[in-house]
C-alpha cells in the first residue's frame, strides 16, 4: 500500500507512524560490515535501532529522567561511519542530475573511503538514556552508534595522549603529532575544486557580485524590489504606501495543487540545491586547536565528502571601524591575515558595523544598546544571500556549538524531516518543546495541538501593516480544515529551520521576552504580530527569507531583535518555519510532566519567554542559549563536554574513560 508523506507524519495509527521512521531512516542511516565498510543497500531497523541493539531508556512522565552515561569505547573496535547517500547508484541517478565525483582532501587523497579522512563510531551496546525533549526515533536521527572523542576528531588533528589508536588510523595519528601539516591546507581551494568537479549536479548560476562585501551603491537601492523571490516567480512592485487592496489580492489568490505538483515533479531528475554553513566570528577570537579542529570537521563532512553540496563560509567581524577594509586592498588583506589562520583565509569574508549601517541605515536608530552587530546579526547573512545567488539555503552557526556525531547526518536529517512536514498546524506545533514521555508519539502530539488550536491555526501570510506584499505561496485550500490529509507544505523546503520552539511574542503584557517592545518600522508597534526563537546558535535560512528580510530593512526600516526578526518575517510573508524536535537531555531532578507544564503554560509564555528567570533549568540542558553573557563556562553541557573530550579524566581500571555518546548538539561550549 502506498501512503503519502503527510499521512505518514501525522497518521493516527501507530503502524503508520512507524512507517514514517522507516522512510527517514532509509534515507539517512547506514550499517556496516565487520570490516568497517558500508554495506550496499543496508539500512537501520525500525525506529533507527539496529536489530538486537538495546533500546533507549525512557522514564515515565512522573519519574525524573536523569541521564546516566555509562557506555565507553574502552577495549572495543570502531567502525568507519558513512552517512552519505549511495552516490551514483541506480536509485540515486533516477532522482539526481549529474555524477558524484570524489574530491581531494587535505592529505592529497580523495576523501571518500579514505580511512584517514573519515570519522569512526562504535555500535551501541549498552542502554542509553532517552532525551527528555525531542526524539531520535521520530526524526530519523541515527541511534545505532555512539561516538568517542578520538575516533570522532582524529581526522582533523585531535590527539589524546592517553588513548591508543588503531593501526588503520596511523597516518592521521602521526599528523596529529605534527600540527604544522595543516599550515599547507587551503580549504577554499579544496572546496572550489570539489564544486568544479561536481558542477553538473548543480544549476549553473552566474556570480556577478564579486567575491567580497562592498559599500552599497545607488543601483542597489533603486533595484531593491528585484531581490525579492516570490512564489511561482510572480513579481509585484512594492509601493511605499500600504496598498491593502494589493495585499488582499496577493493573499486571496487561489493557488491549487501545491502538493500534487510537487509529487508529480518527483519523477524527473533534479539538480541538487546548494547549501552553505556560515560560521560567525570576529577578529579577536582565539583560534585554539580545538576550534580549528571543529571548523575542519565542518568542511570535510559537509563539503568535501558530499561533492560540494555544502560550502563552509566564515563571516568575521572587524571590531575597529576605522580600518578602511572596503576601500583599500592592503588594509583588507592585512586585517584578514591578522584575524584568521592561513588555512581558513580563503573561506573568510570580513565585515564591520560600518558596512551594515551603510546598507541598512533605517534600522540603525533608536537606543544605543540596540546599535550593535549582535542586535543585527543577520544583516551580513542577508548581504551574503545577494553575493551568492547560487546558494539556496544558509545554515548559520555560532562558533561555540559542538556536535558529537556527524554533521552531515544532522543537517540532512533535519532538512529531510522539515521538507516532509506539512503546513497545517505548523506554527502551533512549533510553539512547544516536544516531550515524548508526556505527549506520546508524534501523531498523538499533533492530535493534542489540533484539539487545542483555535480557528484552525495560522494559515498563510498573517496580514501585517507596514510590510511588503507576501512572497510566500497562497494556501491551496481556503480553510485549514479543508486540508484533510495535511498535504500543503509537504515537499516544500523550510524557509526557516530552527532547532528550538518558535513562540508568539505579540503582546508584551503576556510575556517578558527581551526587547519585545523593539519593533521599529511597523505602524502597529508592539501590537505587530511576532514570533521568536530563544535558542538560535544553529538555524537554517532560505534565500527567499533572507531576501525578504533584506528588503524590509532596506526599504522600510523594519527591525526587531535577531531572535524575532527572521521568525516574524516568515510569519508576515507566509513562509514555512519548522521547529525540528532536536533531542535535548536535561540533567535535572524534575518530573517530565511538570517541566513540560512549565515550558508550555500560557502557550509558552513562561520559561520560553523568561530566560533570565529560569537560568537553573536552561543551564542543565544540552542545547540552550543565554542572552546575558552569564554562566557560559559551566553547567551540564560544559561538564558533559569536558568528560567526553577528556579534559576531565575518569578512569576505568588502569585506562582513562573514553565516553561514547549518541549524536548530540551541544551549546554553549567555550574553548578558550
Closest CA to 517 of 630, 626, 369: 369
Q: Is residue 466 a contact partner of residue 558, using CB atoms and an 8 Å limit?
A: yes
Establish if 642 belongs to a structural domain: no
Establish if 205 belongs to a structural domain: no
Q: What per-residue confidence (pLDDT) applies to 565?
A: 96
Q: Is the pLDDT of residue 550 over 50?
A: yes
Segment 183-212, tens digit of pLDDT: 899 999 999 999 999 999 999 998 888 899
Segment 420-475, tens digit of pLDDT: 999 999 999 999 999 999 999 999 999 999 998 888 899 999 999 999 999 999 99
Check residues 599 and 524 and name the one with the higher pLDDT: 524
* Lowest-confidence pick of 128-132, 488-492, 650-654: 650-654
Q: Is the pLDDT of residue 23 over 80?
A: no
Instruction: Please give the Cα distance from 338 to 443 (Å, whole number).
Output: 53
CA atoms within 13 A on the CB side of 559: 25
Peptide bond into 24 cis (omega under 30): no
Angle at 299 between CA 293 and CA 301, to 5 degrees: 95
Cα dist from 208 to 188, 211, 220, whole Å: 19, 9, 13
* Lowest-confidence pick of 148-162, 360-374, 472-486, 543-557: 360-374
Closest CA to 596 of 450, 440, 443: 440
Quick one: 135 exposed, middle or buried, by C-beta within 10 A (0-12, 13-18, 19+)?
Answer: buried
Q: Is residue 269 a contact partner of residue 94, using CB atoms and an 8 Å limit?
A: yes
Closest CA to 302 of 391, 183, 383, 387: 391
Indicate the pLDDT class of residue 181, thresholds 50, 70 and 90.
confident
Establish if 22 belongs to a structural domain: no
The backbone torsions φ and ψ at residue 437, rounded to the nearest 5 degrees and listed phi first, read: -70, -20
Average pLDDT over residues 262-272: 74
Q: Which three cell numbers stand for residue 543?
A: 534565500
Instruction: Please give the Cα distance from 525 to 558 (Å, whole number).
Output: 11
Establish if 561 belongs to a structural domain: yes
Q: What per-residue confidence (pLDDT) applies to 248?
A: 35
Cα dist from 17 to 23, 263, 424, whole Å: 10, 20, 18
Query: What percent of the chain shows pLDDT beyond 70?
Result: 78
- Report the side by side order of strands in the sheet with 120-123: 79-80, 120-123, 145-146
Q: What per-residue confidence (pLDDT) applies to 169?
A: 57
Q: Is the pLDDT of residue 44 over 80?
A: no
Instruction: Please give the Cα distance from 183 to 341 (Å, whole number).
Output: 8
Alpha carbon of residue 638 to chain centroid: 21
State how beta strands 391-398 and 538-542 pair: antiparallel
In the block, cell 576531565 appears at 648
Q: Is the pLDDT of residue 293 over 60?
A: yes
Structural domain harbouring 296: 225-250+270-404+454-579
Q: What per-residue confidence (pLDDT) applies to 477?
A: 93
* Lowest-confidence pick of 76-90, 102-116, 612-626: 612-626
Q: Is the dihedral of CA 453, 458, 463, 466 positive or negative?
A: positive
Q: Which three cell numbers stand for residue 302?
A: 559537509
Segment 331-366, tens digit of pLDDT: 999 999 999 999 999 999 999 999 999 999 999 876
Q: Is the pLDDT of residue 236 over 50?
A: no
Q: Is residue 566 a contact partner of residue 516, using CB atoms and an 8 Å limit?
A: no
Q: Is the pLDDT of residue 237 over 50?
A: no
Establish if 565 belongs to a structural domain: yes
Instruction: Please give the Cα distance from 672 to 664 (Å, whole number).
Output: 21
Q: Which three cell numbers stand for residue 568?
A: 516574524
Q: What per-residue confidence (pLDDT) applies to 66?
A: 80
Q: How many CB atoms lie within 10 A of CB 628?
A: 10
| DSSP3 helix / strand / coil % (the chain, rounded to 5) | 40, 10, 50
Segment 131-174, tens digit of pLDDT: 999 999 999 999 999 999 999 999 999 987 666 655 555 565 55
Instruction: Please give the Cα distance from 1 to 18 (Å, whole number).
Output: 14
Indicate the pLDDT class of residue 16, thresholds 50, 70 and 90.
very low
Q: CA 475, 476, 477, 482: dihedral to nearest 10 degrees?
A: -110
Q: What per-residue confidence (pLDDT) applies to 381?
A: 98
* Lowest-confidence pick of 23-37, 104-118, 280-294, 588-602: 23-37
Number of domains composing the chain: 1
Alpha helices, DSSP H only, in 202-301? 218-222, 244-252, 258-265, 289-298
Segment 391-407, tens digit of pLDDT: 999 999 999 999 999 99
Indicate the pLDDT class of residue 249, thresholds 50, 70 and 90.
very low
Establish if 276 belongs to a structural domain: yes
Q: What per-residue confidence (pLDDT) applies to 244?
A: 42
Q: What per-residue confidence (pLDDT) applies to 647?
A: 83
State how beta strands 402-403 and 577-579 pair: unpaired
Check residues 121 and 653 and name the one with the higher pLDDT: 121
Segment 375-394, tens digit of pLDDT: 789 999 999 999 999 999 99
Indicate the pLDDT class of residue 178, thresholds 50, 70 and 90.
low
Q: What per-residue confidence (pLDDT) applies to 14?
A: 31
Check residues 369 and 333 and name the one with the higher pLDDT: 333
Instruction: Please give the Cα distance from 289 to 340 (Å, whole number).
Output: 13
Establish if 152 belongs to a structural domain: no
Establish if 524 belongs to a structural domain: yes
Instruction: Please give the Cα distance from 591 to 240 (Å, whole number).
Output: 53
Q: What per-residue confidence (pLDDT) applies to 262?
A: 54
Q: What per-residue confidence (pLDDT) applies to 157?
A: 93
Cα dist from 472 to 234, 490, 544, whole Å: 10, 15, 9
Indicate the pLDDT class of residue 625, thresholds 50, 70 and 90.
confident
Alpha carbon of residue 60 to chain centroid: 30
Q: What per-residue confidence (pLDDT) applies to 12?
A: 33
Check residues 617 and 512 and name the one with the higher pLDDT: 617
Per the prediction, the chain carries an average pLDDT of 83
Average pLDDT over residues 295-308: 98
Can you name the residues that pair with 667 across neighbouring β-strands? 623
Amino acid at each position: 500500500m502506498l501512503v503519502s508523506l503527510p499521512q505518514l507524519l501525522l497518521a493516527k495509527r501507530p503502524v503508520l507512524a512507524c512507517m514514517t521512521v522507516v522512510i527517514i531512516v532509509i534515507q539517512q542511516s547506514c550499517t556496516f560490515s565487520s570490516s568497517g565498510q558500508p554495506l550496499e543497500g543496508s539500512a537501520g531497523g525500525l525506529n533507527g535501532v539496529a536489530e538486537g541493539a538495546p533500546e533507549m531508556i525512557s522514564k515515565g512522565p512522573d519519574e525524573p529522567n536523569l541521564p546516566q552515561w555509562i557506555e565507553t569505547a574502552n577495549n572495543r573496535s570502531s567502525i568507519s561511519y558513512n552517512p552519505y547517500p549511495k552516490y551514483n547508484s541506480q536509485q540515486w541517478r533516477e532522482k539526481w542530475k549529474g555524477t558524484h565525483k570524489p574530491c581531494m582532501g587535505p592529505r592529497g587523497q580523495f576523501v571518500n573511503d579514505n580511512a584517514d579522512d573519515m570519522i569512526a563510531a562504535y555500535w551501541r551496546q549498552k542502554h542509553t538514556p532517552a532525551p527528555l525533549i525531542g526524539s531520535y526515533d521520530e526524526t530519523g536521527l541515527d541511534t545505532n552508534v555512539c561516538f568517542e572523542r578520538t575516533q570522532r576528531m582524529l581526522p582533523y588533528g585531535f590527539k589524546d595522549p592517553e588513548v591508543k589508536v588503531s593501526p588503520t588510523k596511523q597516518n592521521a595519528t602521526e599528523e596529529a603529532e605534527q600540527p604544522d601539516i595543516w599550515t599547507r591546507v587551503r580549504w577554499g581551494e579544496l572546496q572550489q575544486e570539489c564544486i568544479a568537479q561536481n558542477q553538473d549536479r548543480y544549476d549553473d548560476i552566474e556570480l556577478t557580485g564579486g567575491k567580497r562585501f562592498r559599500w552599497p551603491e545607488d543601483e542597489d537601492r533603486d533595484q531593491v524590489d528585484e531581490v525579492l523571490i516570490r512564489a511561482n516567480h510572480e513579481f509585484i512592485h512594492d509601493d511605499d504606501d500600504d496598498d491593502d487592496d494589493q495585499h488582499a489580492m496577493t493573499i486571496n489568490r487561489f493557488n491549487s495543487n501545491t502538493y500534487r505538483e510537487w509529487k508529480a515533479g518527483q519523477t524527473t531528475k533534479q539538480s541538487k540545491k546548494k547549501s552553505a554553513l556560515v560560521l560567525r566570528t570576529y577578529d579577536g577570537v582565539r583560534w585554539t586547536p580545538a576550534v580549528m579542529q571543529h571548523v575542519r570537521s565542518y568542511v570535510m563532512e559537509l563539503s568535501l565528502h558530499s561533492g560540494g553540496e555544502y560550502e563552509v563560509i566564515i563571516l568575521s567581524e572587524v571590531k575597529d571601524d576605522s580600518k578602511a577594509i572596503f576601500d583599500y586592498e592592503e588594509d583588507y588583506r592585512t586585517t584578514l591575515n591578522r584575524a584568521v589562520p592561513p588555512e581558513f583565509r580563503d573561506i573568510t569574508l570580513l565585515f564591520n558595523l560600518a558596512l551594515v549601517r551603510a546598507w541598512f541605515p533605517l534600522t540603525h536608530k533608536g537606543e544605543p544598546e540596540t546599535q550593535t552587530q549582535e542586535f543585527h546579526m543577520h544583516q551580513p547573512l542577508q548581504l551574503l544571500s545577494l553575493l551568492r545567488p547560487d546558494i539556496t539555503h544558509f545554515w548559520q552557526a555560532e562558533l561555540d556549538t559542538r556536535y558529537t556525531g556527524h554533521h552531515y547526518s544532522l543537517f540532512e536529517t533535519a532538512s529531510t524531516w522539515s521538507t516532509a512536514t506539512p503546513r497545517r498546524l505548523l506554527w502551533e506545533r512549533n510553539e512547544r518543546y516536544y516531550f515524548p514521555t508526556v505527549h506520546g508519539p508524534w501523531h498523538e502530539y499533533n492530535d493534542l495541538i489540533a484539539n487545542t488550536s483555535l480557528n484552525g491555526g495560522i494559515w498563510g501570510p498573517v496580514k501585517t501593516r507596514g510590510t511588503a506584499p507576501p512572497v510566500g505561496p497562497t494556501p491551496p485550500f481556503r480553510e485549514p480544515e479543508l486540508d484533510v490529509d495535511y498535504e500543503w507544505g509537504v515537499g516544500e523546503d523550510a524557509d526557516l529551520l530552527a532547532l528550538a520552539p518558535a513562540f508568539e511574542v505579540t503582546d508584551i503584557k503576556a510575556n517578558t521576552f527581551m526587547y519585545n517592545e523593539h519593533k521599529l518600522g511597523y505602524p502597529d508597534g508592539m501590537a505587530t504580530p511576532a514570533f521568536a526563537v530563544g535558542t538560535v546558535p544553529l538555524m537554517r535560512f532560505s534565500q527567499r527569507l533572507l531576501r525578504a528580510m533584506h528588503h524590509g530593512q532596506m526599504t522600510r526600516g523594519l527591525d526587531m531583535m535577531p531572535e524575532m526578526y527572521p521568525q516574524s518575517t516568515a510569519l508576515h510573508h507566509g513562509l514555512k518555519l519548522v521547529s525540528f524536535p532536536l533531542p535535548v537531555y536535561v540533567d535535572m531532578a524534575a518530573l517530565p510532566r511538570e517541566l513540560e507544564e512549565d515550558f508550555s503554560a500560557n502557550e509558552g509564555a513562561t520559561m520560553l519567554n523568561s530566560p533570565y528567570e529560569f537560568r537553573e533549568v536552561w543551564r542543565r540542558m544540552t542545547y540552550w542559549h543565554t542572552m546575558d553573557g552569564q554562566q557560559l563556562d559551566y553547567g551540564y553541557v560544559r561538564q558533559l563536554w569536558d568528560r567526553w573530550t577528556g579534559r576531565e579524566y575518569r578512569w576505568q581500571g588502569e585506562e582513562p574513560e573514553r565516553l561514547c555518546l549518541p549524536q548530540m548538539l551541544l551549546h554553549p561550549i567555550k574553548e578558550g
